[in-house]
A and B are shown apart, each in its own frame.
Chain A
Amino acid sequence: MTQLAYHRPVSAAEAARLAAGDPEAKLLAGGQSIVPSLKLGLLAPSALIDLAGIPELRGIRLQGRTLTVGAMTTHAAVAASPEVRSSIPALARLAEGIGDRQVRNRGTAGGSLANSDPAADYPAAALALGAVLRTTRRPIPADAFFKGLFETALEPGELLTAMEFPVPDRAAYVKLPQPASRFALVGVFLAQTGGAVRVAVTGAAPCVFRVREMEEALARRFAPESLAGIGLAADGLSSDIHGSAAYRAHLIPVLARQAVAQALG
């Protein structure tokens, strides 16, 4: 049987040191992605470094036009936070729509982003809001953070510590859940800040991505009709028993129009 060491550091620096010292170790946040992987034998790390005992990684702060969410903040805490609900209600609703109550009470914003599951909700928010992901080493803009399927810019031994979300003028998130897992079959997050619009799509491809053509059209005029005629090619989109690439391609503009309508409120 496999042996698994368990560490419970009390600071981010200590956690980073432990992680750097053991390339086979894994960070443990809410455990909602990693524990199922362990149970299924998909992962066999040498050690788990539990981040639950590090107060500096938790909490939500609204300062001016920047909302900062600590990496270890749970989905439930984001969903219930008055700061989030008043500044970026779309983010609170996104968190509220993740999994079930138990998952939201355990799962964390940082864990979700670090995991970069192709169907996770948070990556769409981070990318569309143009978040800055702070780590134990550097700030990483969202545009440079998501690299591919379960792949991010985080290096071995590097911890995500907090996310800084610029508060947009308007934002909305619409997802069509995969019927079983309720992860996003397709999810579209869009945000308007001043004259700029960012549109991020999750669930549709191996990694979250932006749709520039929609962003430009919406920047000209922020209305559902602006998206008329913008279609997406199915090439490169994901296909599985829950939806073909063509269906996903079809859904992106449909959900984007709904999101615009919702953002206009």
Chain B
Amino acid sequence: MSAQAPYIGRSVERKEDYRFITGSGTYTDDIVLPHQAYACFLRSPHAHAAIRAIDTAAASAAPGVLAVYTARDLAGIGGLPCGWLIHSIDGSPMKEPKHPVLAEGKVRHVGDPLALVVAESAREAKAAAALIEVDYDVLPPVVDTASAASSAVAVHAEAPDNVCFTWGIGDGAAVDAAFSGAAHVTRFSFANNRLIPNAIEPRAANAQYSPASDSYTLYVTSQNPHVARLLMAAFVLGIPEHKLRVVAPDVGGGFGSKIYVYPEETALVWASRRVGRPIKWTAERSESFLSDAHGRDHVTTAELALDADGKFLALRVDTTANMGAYLSTFAPCIPTILHATLLAGQYATPHIHCKVRAVFTNTAPVDAYRGAGRPEATYLLERIVELAARELGLDPVELRRRNFIRAFPYATPVGLTYDTGDYEATLERALELADVRGFAARRRASEQRGLRRGIGYACYIEACGIAPSNIAGRLGARAGLFEAAELRVHPTGKVTVFTGSHSHGQGHETTFAQVVADRLGIALEDVEIEHGDTGKVLFGMGTYGSRSLAVGGSAIVKAADKIVAKGRKIAAHLLEAGEEDVQFSQGAFRVAGTDRVKTFAEVALAAYVPHHYPLETLEPGLNENAFYDPANFTFPAGTYVCEVEVDPQTGRTRIERFTACDDFGNVVNPMIVEGQVHGGLAQGIGQALLESCHYNEDGQLLTGSFVDYAMPRADDLPDFIVETVRGTPCTHNPLGAKGCGEAGAIGSPPAVINAIVDALAPLGVRDVQMPATPYRLWQTLQAARR
């Protein structure tokens, strides 16, 4: 056998692309079941209103209608559960008002579903929904994040001041003491703009009840079908978990918005039994805008204390985070556990305190969106560091360097322990790639054309690979956060891998196959990855927080190692050698120091045709499960450099260069990683320059379509300069992998805004709020002139 070059580290073409490019993928909406019925949800046109009466008579009598349901029919069905419990500083648990499947008594945001119509066709369902008459008593809404806690109106009776919790982390007294001795304090207030996810595939579900087996099947656009099944079965519908199969087939992007259990699929599962027909719903784009969980939406004040040498002494943060009208599945953990714990960034700031007030408003629920808390933390930190450098007349790069963490492991004052990192390495390389030396000349050239040029940096860190279950449990998680895998070796030595990590754009079918092919020394084509079906995959916690390779991949490695261990026993028997003398490498079991060898396929065959087999001591078959619970988070980090040109007349910004230099630890497929960074950068640049969810005072969504909600497009973006440095492998997982899915979206917004501020600083601009649209920049320049 000739030695096979390792697959890990190679830009293998994506196995899944053939089916996507040829249009032969299967998405939820592609699935049409026998006797298919269709659903439409009637949604609230008001942000806040009491429901006096709902008259469904005309809708029920409309052509094609099979059933119309409202909250009354759902009596006895639980509310949608929240998967994370946060306690306030005073020890009280967060306010957790019921999130009904269909609105009960009150509607709390525009788009809140209050009736379900099931009909023979989607068009008939929609037409009938329009016939439902609702008598609303319209109430004044709470819309604004910053003032929600002082509003006279309550979204929920359980939270009269609209405060869900007031949480804190860090040693406040130590922070106060450090501030009182500081040589300089930099202050910064800002809003982290609210975003609407907009996956290209809208949410969809198709639920079927089988009377023959008294069981349900739900096809749904989910990033984590097992979690959906657990929550829906155990907490909402009371269906025995083994009687509910959840399938997330091909999913066209999630970005967080498809993690959660939503009202729509829950209502469909319930109704499928009542109606006795499978029921399908696919969101229209305008429904997605109104009802997908939104992201970000913080209003924050931050203060950084520095000594005379520019060393950070302490950081104090006070943030208000908008939860929207109801607590979405993971909402409370985003501004707390995934935000405040990241506030050390790459810096050895000795004291940090962060207070987080979470508020209810009459807007769509807010939850994790690519980066989830970490973009908010990184934006805060990388903007305030830049501001401090400006105030102190220091080079922003130099100020960062002075404060870098240089010894690992490093325990931050906000609860994390970084296992490894080398921030100088990514910074150095980024400065080189970005040609920072040539910037002054480029700036002069721009100025000659009447334009302003600026350069901005961001040195980000993120915590990925969520999470050690015991730590997560202490922090309020109501679920474990391990991952599961099964390796099924077929008699011919081909392998099917079942993973709990769902793939909806990440390329798991390729990356995971590379890992397994290397581990077992077999060809990539001989490995198939299965995911997304609770009926096939043993268990899974799903895909989010850049955890798939670090946690899901590690579970696969563990299972592969068990396969090899059993294979050695079989091989030892076949080779008539002691197990300890059998070595496995390059897909073959060898007796050390001899030419006696059995290939992986021969061993697999022996396991399933156990004629010459130690049946007394070993079971036949070659099939192993593994659960992997990470020992720590992983800590990807890097430096991003953005260079912009701004037309001070129109306020229009063009990104001239964008350099991303990341340390993701070990990289399995550089091309896929680069693609993930590209996508993340586009999203982060979208947040910085274009995207902003805007509700008016009445709680109406003004940016409810692509006419007003600006997504980044290819020509908004430059050619990215992306490089992953050799880096520092994660110390505690078998792949040394850290995760790369969110980095781009985390590091890029502050780099962009820092660059714009750098460009406009000579005109008196100190800060620019996101998104930095031409209009916003013009307003900022007007204000600076005054």
Residues of A within 8 A of B (CB): 1, 176, 179-181, 185, 241-244, 247, 250-251, 254-255
Contacts and interface: CB of A to CB of B under 8 A. Distances in A.
Interface residues of B, number: 23
6 nearest A-B pairs in the assembled complex, by CB-CB distance = A180-B710, A179-B710, A243-B775, A254-B649, A181-B707, A1-B127
A243 B702 CA distance: 14
B694 interface: yes
Contacts of B649: 254
Given A1-B127, A176-B650, A179-B690, A247 B707 contact: no
Given A241-B702, A242-B775, A250-B778, A180 B123 contact: no
Contacts of A251: 650
Given A1-B127, A176-B652, A254-B649, A244 B710 contact: no
B447 interface: no
A185 B650 CA distance: 11
A255 B774 CA distance: 13
Contacts of A180: 690, 703, 706-711
Given A179-B690, A254-B649, A254-B650, A242 B773 contact: yes
11 contacts: A1-B63, A1-B123, A176-B650, A180-B690, A180-B703, A180-B706, A180-B711, A181-B708, A247-B775, A250-B778, A251-B650
A156 B773 CA distance: 41
B210 interface: no
Contacts of A247: 775, 778-779
Interface of B: 63, 123-124, 127, 649-650, 652, 689-690, 694, 702-703, 706-711, 773-775, 778-779
B703 A241 contact: yes
Nearest to B707: A181
Contacts of B710: 179-180
Contact of A1 (B124, B694, B702): B124
A244 B778 CA distance: 11
A161 to B, nearest CB: 30
Given A1-B127, A254-B650, A242 B778 contact: no
B650 A244 contact: no
Nearest to B773: A179
B355 to A, nearest CB: 31
Contacts of B652: 176
B710 to A, nearest CB: 4
A181 B649 CA distance: 21
Contacts of B709: 180
Given A1-B124, A179-B710, A181-B706, 9 more contacts: A176-B774, A179-B690, A180-B710, A185-B774, A241-B694, A242-B708, A242-B775, A243-B774, A250-B778
A243 B124 CA distance: 40
A176 B650 CA distance: 8
A258 B123 CA distance: 49
Contacts of B694: 241
Nearest to A255: B650
Q: Dominant SS at the B interface?
A: loop
Contacts of B650: 176, 251, 254-255
Contacts of A185: 774-775
Nearest to A2: B127
B567 to A, nearest CB: 54
Nearest to A179: B710
Contacts of B707: 180-181
Contacts of A250: 778
B65 to A, nearest CB: 12
Nearest to A244: B775
A247 B775 CA distance: 7
A179 B778 CA distance: 14
A251 B123 CA distance: 45
Nearest to A174: B650
A1 B126 CA distance: 9
Contacts of A179: 689-690, 710, 773-774
Contacts of B703: 180, 241
A250 B778 CA distance: 9
A176 B778 CA distance: 13
Contacts of A176: 650, 652, 774
Contacts of A181: 706-708
B500 to A, nearest CB: 38
A255 B710 CA distance: 22
A120 to B, nearest CB: 13
B41 to A, nearest CB: 17
Contacts of B127: 1
A243 B652 CA distance: 13
A176 B775 CA distance: 10
A259 to B, nearest CB: 13
Contacts of A1: 63, 123-124, 127
A140 to B, nearest CB: 29
Nearest to B647: A254
Contacts of A244: 775
Interface centre among B649, B706, B779, by most chain A C-beta atoms within 10 angstroms, is B649
A243 B127 CA distance: 36
A176 B653 CA distance: 12
Nearest to A243: B775
A254 B708 CA distance: 24
A244 B775 CA distance: 8
Contacts of A243: 774-775
Which has the most chain B C-beta neighbours within 10 Å: A176, A180, A247?
Answer: A180
B385 to A, nearest CB: 28
Contacts of B774: 176, 179, 185, 243
A250 B706 CA distance: 26
Nearest to A186: B650
A119 to B, nearest CB: 10
B706 to A, nearest CB: 6
Nearest to B775: A243
Contacts of B775: 185, 242-244, 247
A42 B710 CA distance: 22
A243 B694 CA distance: 14
A128 B351 CA distance: 64
A244 B651 CA distance: 14
B43 to A, nearest CB: 14
A241 B779 contact: no
Nearest to B774: A176
Contacts of B778: 247, 250
A159 to B, nearest CB: 28
A166 B710 CA distance: 36
A180 B774 CA distance: 12
A176 B647 CA distance: 12
A247 B123 CA distance: 43
B537 to A, nearest CB: 38
A193 to B, nearest CB: 27
Contacts of A254: 649-650
A59 B119 CA distance: 47
Contacts of A241: 694, 702-703, 708
A181 B708 CA distance: 6
A185 B689 CA distance: 16
